[in-house]
Structure 1
Amino acid sequence: MSSKETKGYEQLYVRAALAITMLSAVADRFGWGPDTSWGNWENFLVYSRQLTFYLPGFFQEPAAVIATTLEIVLPLCLLAGFKTKLAAYATGFLLLVFALSMTFSIGFRSTLAYSVWVGSSAGFLLAVQQHYTFSLDGYLARNRRAG
């Protein structure tokens, strides 16, 4: 296999790893799965308020809802390879915000345990790719060229 052929598998691996990691965190908020950190939405809100100490109190719960929504939509886009560049940049920025918020609220070590720096950098690395094979984006681009 040439380097160009394997590139698609590596991108798919990064997209899947980011997506599964983010969706797992969302599942935890709703108590899904055997090993939960928060176990329910209320516990997650307490944690989220701690991370968003810099926001006005009335905006902390909506911020948790917005973050959770993004943590569902972005991974689904990454898995499908739909609007991959946009989803990857947004994932990189979202995880960067998480990393910085965690650093300033509960300490740098927590960011390592949750691998948010790795996830953020993976999002940015994925975002600068020129082509997205094994993706809806790639399929649509091929059809536009062929049609």
Structure 2
Amino acid sequence: MKDSFKIPQFLLRFALGITFLTPVSDRLGLLGPAGTGNVEWGNWDNFISYTTTLMPFLDRPMVNVMGGIATVCELVIGVLLIIGFKTKYAAIAGSLLTLTFIVFMTLFVGIQKPINFGVFTATAASFLLSRIPNYEWSLDNFFKGK
């Protein structure tokens, strides 16, 4: 049977990878200062202040740790998806991470925020990517051929 997922899975991997890396770039200030263009946070402090609203039951130092963990996870997942290494596991991790975001955003700021940020789409797309049987143009595929 012909693999009809070659280009769509590559585009989905790349789009999801960028989706995970862009917020990381934003909170590290790489996209510019807050309030310019489509910059949401512009720096780490603004990101942690927002994250505090999602975790009001934690004190700020612990929110800082949780924000750091989320940022590292997003960075790793984004890179793994783009290069196509351990793609299935990165996609599952991405789906679980964004599902966690949905829960906290919905509980503490309302359902509209995860909808506006496309978190439902990222969760579903990550889960879908994890179910694709073969990842063309990926390190997974390269190592499978060895």
**1:45 alignment partner, SS class:** helix
> Where does residue 18 of structure 2 map in the other structure?
20
How many percent identity over aligned positions?
Answer: 35
Q: 5 Å matches for 1:33-112?
A: 33=31, 34-55=37-58, 58-112=61-115
Q: Give the CA deviation at 1:131.
A: 1.5
2:133 alignment partner in structure 1: 130
**CA RMSD between the two structures:** 1.5
| 1: CA distance, partners of 2:65 / 2:86 | 25
Amino acid paired to 2:116? A
How many residues end up aligned between the 2 structures? 141
The structure whose residues are more often helix, as a share, is 1
Indicate yes or no: 2:6 matched with 1:8. Answer: yes
- Give the match's secondary structure for 1:134: coil
TM value normalised by structure 1: 0.89
How many angstroms apart in 1 are the aligned matches of 2:124 and 2:57? 24
Cα displacement string for residues 36-72 of structure 1 (whole angstroms, at most 9, x for unaligned residues):
1111110000011111234465422110000000111
Give the unaligned 5+ runs of structure 2.
32-36
Aligned-pair CA distance for 1:130: 1.6
Structure 1 unaligned spans of 5+: none
1:7 partner letter: F
The separation in 2 between residues aligned to 1:32 and 1:86, in whole angstroms, is 28
Measured in 1, the distance between the counterparts of 2:38 and 2:131 equals 34
- Which letter does structure 1 place at the counterpart of 2:71? T
The superposition leaves residues 85-144 of structure 1 with CA deviations (integer Å, 9 ceiling, x where unpaired) of 11000000000001111000100011111000100111111111222111100110111x
* 1:32 alignment partner AA: L
Give 1:120's aligned residue.
123
Aligned to 1:31: 29
**Alpha-carbon offset, residue 22 of structure 1:** 1.4
